[in-house]
Structure 1
Amino acid sequence: MPETKLSVRDADRSLIVTAGDVDIAQYVYHPEAPDSEAPKPYLHPIRSLSGAPMSVYRPHDHRWHKGLQMTWAHLSGQNFWGGPTFSVEKNYHWEDNLGHMNHIDFTELSSDGERVTVAESLHWVSAQGEHWITEQRRQVFHGVDAERGIWALDFTTQLRNVRGATLDFGSPTTHGRPMAGYAGYFWRGPRSWTGGTIIAAGGKGGEEMMGAEAPWLAMVGQHDELDGGGTVLAIAGHSSASVPIKWFVRREAFAVISPSPAFDEEIALADGDTLELAHRYVFIDHMCDRAELDELGAEFAL
């Protein structure tokens, strides 16, 4: 069985996480991006243990989609997502409201072979240069299983409102666009995964999962160039807000998954308060069926 110890190295503006001799993830913490893409850290490329691609970067349809990243499209009038902003009156239109998420420093960067921990402080800064949120973000890479072709990523964050006024966390759906409640932690799959299979907990699946609640949801897709395919299993996790986490998921015209904390209901975060979120993604080196996903969903539950 190949060596699968986890390690991490700093590549100047990014961190490279390696399992054995495969770079399974690059975390770009100082991105070079135009303001139109609301610059923020992201994970790309993401790879399976065999090196198969599990993410896409700057696709032609949405240049601000970058692998797996923390985002927010509607935050008290600011756009930390990238691209145009939706409104009922103007549909999608460009505004001078594109913010930045700026990496400040790493508070922990460690590896013991079994896991890699990346903890950092970030500032969310509005288009006008105002510091609105201080974020404490923690990513833990773990659960490597070479025999089953699995590794996992835990993402937790604490978003503290430092604006001096209440912040309203919403989505395009809270602003009038039905079934478009994307917000929070967002994964964009490879182009070849378009038309993939959506499988969710409780015997559910398919496009009915848009806006639905479920403890886990998976996308199963096929690779280009390489034989076979893979699976991304997302665990909804927890939010400190009273608003339930609902899934934003699409298989057409591209593959995306996001456990949205504000799909169709805004979160009002008072000045000085903190919104806490916890999610888990599991990257699997083969195409899973429902029976296997039921077992993995229970195994990796949060």
Structure 2
Amino acid sequence: MTQPLTAGTTEALARTPRIALVGVHGFGERHLENLARLGAKGSLELVAVADPLPPAEGTLGAEGTLGPEVKVFASLDELLASGIAPDVVIVSTPIQTHAPLALAALTAGANVYLEKPPVASMAQYEEVMAAAARAGRLVQVGFQSLGSEALPAIEALVASGEIGDVRGISATGLWLRSKAYFTRSRWAGKRSLNGTDVVDGVATNALAHAVATGLRLAGARTVADVESVDTDLYRANDTESDDTSVVRVKTTAGSTGGTVLTCALTLCAPVQSAPSVTVYGTLGQLTFFYTEDRLEISSAEGTRTETFGRTDLLENLLAARTEEDLLSPLSGSGAYVSVLEAIRTAKAPQQILPEFITWEGEGDAAHPVVHGIEALIRRAALGQATFAELGAPWTGSNGPALNGPAFSVDGVPVAALQDGSQVRPTSSPRPYLHPVRTLAGTVVTDHVPEDHVWHLGAGVALQDVDGINFWGGRTYTRDAGAYLWREDHGRIITESAEYGDGHRREQLSWLGPDGTPLLGEQREWRWAGVGNSAWKLTLDFRLESATGRPVLLGSPGSNGRPQGGYGGFFWRLPKVGDATIWTPDARGEDAVHGSVAPWLAWSGTFDAGTSAPGHVTGDPGLGHPATLVFLASPQAPDPWFVRHSGYPGVGLSLAWDTPVTTGPGRPVHRTVTVIVADGFLATQDIEQLISTLGEPA
């Protein structure tokens, strides 16, 4: 909405603008420095300040004073009642006071510079917006990063197509704050104070600029531009507010339309680094370090860095004639307030247990470090996932948030079924198992790993089903001879399931991007114990055309990529130390990859965690020995697909170098069994286990 200036304001522009500052401590000191700078240029006149803790005489501003002509009051009400009529009131006070002070300033006829966050609730936002409209005044919000000249440059780069189509946006922040930060004032670290909303927190205050900048680049300004907000809030400090959180926003509008912005933020990092916002494209990416006005552009031509200037938001407000002239208008903060409102109304942040935190420093300078937070922030940003969905151990879920049944052997949970509904579209959402554990609790699967965020535990995935990608990530095409980001990702949904003791039968549909069924799948999971230290998992699946015609099942290998025949059954492992990979006739990644053998074994020390917090406490971090034995499908001699040097993964290739066809009444059928054992097994142990199962060795 364009807000015109009234005649009184227009007249004021003909003389030096008169400024009043409310709140001279904390960030108010930065405003004093800026006011001194602009006053020295003759751009404005600071006429008054208000603060319930008035500064001592002669102590205001840079070099000790701004002169005796600056009047000092204990409150904005006293300031306005004195007859001083400021043209602009700067509000740099505790969050819960922003709205009432802005309302008072607007009623008095002043324009307002409102520090972030502008308000503490959506109701306050609507009230201040209405007051500004009635008064015909302007409200600028202090998101200084929105004054960066990098923002229009980024928008131009996206529009030029240099990074291709936008796939998503992330905002990441790894900061650290000490105990003193949360004891600096009564409202710090509070969600409310004496029944009044405060909504302090990592996304609403400390790293609010990351959220606001990400929303601006996602084209989200108004409340209507936000379709949904997911919050995942935690705290390591003894506070009410969150200090380690993921906020995921899906937008409805803007040049990128329907973009997902994932904000992964913490105040509990081991070291502080420059926060950033990244725009991911199909041909490259843009990373904006907004505190430095520095932009990294990565594309097919390489990586280059550009640094930009910044327009001061107070100068921008003084020069503005209408709301459209403002770089950070209150009307453009509606999307941000939608995020704040979602955080305000979310359940209280969950406490991170002490065993997942290391305190560094002494006394008021001490600060918490959440274990593994740097990698989790990166994974959350790349995978558009929350900490709970990633299975961060301190979320209390001992794995990703369960949305399916758990598999147990003799009362011991050994696997959890995920329906994949929270997986981002470009990772080809699908059901999968994760975490899968040994009987002693060692986790032997991974999902949404930083290197390939579309790798999802243990399950079935194919990169080419009649040209549709059900694997996730980029697609390898014969024409390009390379991997390309394309809008070709399908999804697999569960139509029905029967669950019993030691087995689960499912009917699945493989749907194209437009929702058209391509395949129907009958899938069965079976699990049972094998002695005291091992259990077996069997996956049986049948893929059948749902189109009424033959459907080709392919892979990068069948599309021309040498040694790239992955697809079908796939098991993504976590980090494994001292890994040994072998079959009855070969040893090592290079020798085993592409071979046909009745079984493949993988042993090593797995250090992705254990099942119980008690195991984590005092864990020396040396890893836990385990062995996985994969038994080949009896239906076909599919080659083994093995990766270790780049990432740890094992699969049986359904279409190694030639596509497989399924037609109506002619399903493609495979059965894979995996023995999950604690400790290191030798070949003799493996063959004895297989013999016990009644399988051919």
Report the counterpart of residue 233 of structure 1 in structure 2.
629
SS of corresponding position for 1:295: helix
Q: Which residue in 2 is equivalent to 1:70?
A: 460
- The one-letter code of the counterpart of 1:139 is W
CA change 1:12–1:198 in 2 (3 A) is: closer
Q: Determine the structure 1 residue equivalent to 2:500.
A: 110
Match of 1:134 among 520, 524, 527: 520
Q: 1:259 to 1:299 in 2, by over 3 A?
A: farther
Q: Deviations over 1:93-146 (max 9, x none)?
A: 11111011100111x2111xxxx1100111010112111111111100113421
State how far apart, in whole Å, the 1-side matches of 2:508 and 2:557 are: 27
Q: 1:176 to 1:164 in 2, by over 3 A?
A: same
The answer for the alignment partner of 2:683 in structure 1 is: 290
1:196 Cα deviation after fit: 1.4
Match for residue 672 of structure 2 among 240, 258, 279: 279
Structure 2 CA distance, aligned partners of 1:227 and 1:161? 44
> In structure 1, what is the Cα distance between the partners aligned to 2:655 and 2:481?
22
Q: Distance in 2 between matches of 1:269 and 1:49?
A: 37
Which of 173, 182, 197 is equivalent to 2:580?
A: 197
Q: Which amino acid aligns with 2:601?
A: A
| Counterpart mapping for 1:215-254 below 5 A | 215-224=598-607, 225=621, 227-239=623-635, 244-254=637-647
Q: Which has the larger helix fraction?
A: 2
Aligned with 1:91 (options 482, 492, 496): 482
Aligned CA RMSD, in angstroms, stands at 1.8
Answer yes or no: is 1:37 the counterpart of 2:454.
Answer: no
CA radius of gyration, larger in: 2
CA–CA distance in structure 1, aligned partners of residues 553 and 602 of structure 2? 26
Q: Does 1:188 align with 2:572?
A: yes
**CA–CA separation in structure 2 for the residues paired with 1:208 and 1:299:** 28
Give 2:663's match in structure 1, choosing from 270, 282, 285. 270
Cα 1:291–1:97 shift into 2, 3 Å? same
Ranges in structure 1 where 5+ consecutive residues have no aligned partner: 1-10
- Give TM-score, length-normalised by structure 2: 0.39
Q: In 2 relative to 1, CA 299–261 (structure 1 residues): closer, same or farther, beyond 3 Å?
A: farther
Alignment coverage as a number of residue pairs: 280
Correspondence for 1:160: 544
SS at match of 2:460: strand
- What percent identity do the matched residue pairs reach? 29
Letter in 1 for 2:541: T
Secondary structure at the aligned position of 1:145 is classed as coil
Distance in 2, matches of 1:100 and 1:223, equals 30
The equivalent residue for 1:22 is 412
Cα distance in 1, alignment partners of residues 525 and 576 from structure 2: 27
Conserved? CA contact 1:14–1:30, under 8 Å: no
The unaligned stretches of length 5 or more in structure 2 are 1-400, 608-620
Query: Matched residues in 1 for 2:674 and 2:660: separation?
Result: 23
Pairing 1:203-218 to 2, within 5 Å after superposition:
203-206=585-588, 207-218=590-601
Tell me the distance in 2 between the aligned counterparts of 1:67 and 1:299.
27
C-alpha contact (below 8 Å) 1:40/1:102 kept by paired residues: yes
Which amino acid in structure 2 is aligned with residue 197 of structure 1?
A: T
Range 290-299 or range 20-29, more displaced: 290-299
Q: What amino acid does structure 2 have at the position aligned with 1:131?
A: P
Q: Which has the higher contact order (CA 8 A, sep 6+)?
A: 1
For the 8 Å contact 1:196–1:255, the answer to whether it is kept is: no
Report the CA distance shift for 1:255/1:298 in structure 2 as closer, same or farther (over 3 A).
farther
1:196 partner SS: strand
Q: String of CA shifts for 1:270-294, please: whole Å, max 9, x gaps.
A: 3442111111011011111222223
TM-score by length of 1: 0.87
In 2, Cα distance between equivalents of 1:227 and 1:164:
50
